[in-house]
Amino acid sequence: MTFTLTARALLLDMDGTLVDSTPVVNRIWADWARAHGLDVDAVLDAAHGRQGHSVMAEFLPDRPRSENVRQDAEMLAREVAETDGIVEIPGAAVFLASLTDVPHALVTSANVPLASGRMAAAGLTVPAVAVTSEDVTESKPAPEGFLSAASILDVDPADCIVFEDSRAGVTAARAAGMRVIGVGSASSAFGPNHVVADLTGVIVTRDDDGTVTVRL
């Protein structure tokens, strides 16, 4: 079945949406979980789409925030260095190329070095507007990043469509009052408005009046 949605801007997550970094993320967070005697599967389920220090605070609630931030910085440095196995989500390059005249922004829990490194490793270009971890005080599932991107693009949140894959990301987008297209079959469990297997076949056009049409 084909769905057609209209909006004024598109907001795009990175990991799991544009870039498949799952092997790297799983490897690093599994190491962290085992080092702290935690259930690996539980940590991996919570880690995707969020800033590291917020995940640490959830599993080690008695540890000082300063220690979480310090260790998060160490893990981010490792994530930046480890790019083996990172590839684009199928269709991502063509999808991004179709957005040349469409207001859009990247909204990611990664910092600038990590976002730049992963996008480059996947052969993708970072959009001109990007909201990263340096730009927010609250990580997804808080809506701050998406609301900030909408403000930068001067578009009402209700007129934005978000492409997301993770529980935290879908929750954040819905909290921002935005419609969500889940990327990947697993995203269907998190309550997006629609789901696509990947970005192959997603068609985006923009009319002269600024209306953005997304066909799934």
> In this structure, what token pair is assigned to residue 40?
């690996």
Helices (DSSP H) in the chain: which residue ranges? Answer: 22-35, 40-47, 52-59, 65-81, 92-97, 112-121, 144-153, 167-175
Torsion angle in degrees (nearest 10) through CA of 180, 105, 71, 47: 20
**Residue that is written with structure tokens 């070095």 in the block:** 113
**Catalytic residue status for 208:** no
Q: In what order do the strands lie in the sheet with 212-215?
A: 4-7, 212-215, 203-206
Written as six digits, the tokens of 120 are 């480059």
HSE (CB half, 13 Å, CA atoms) of 193? Answer: 15
Decide if 13 is catalytic: yes
**Which residues are the active-site residues?**
13, 15
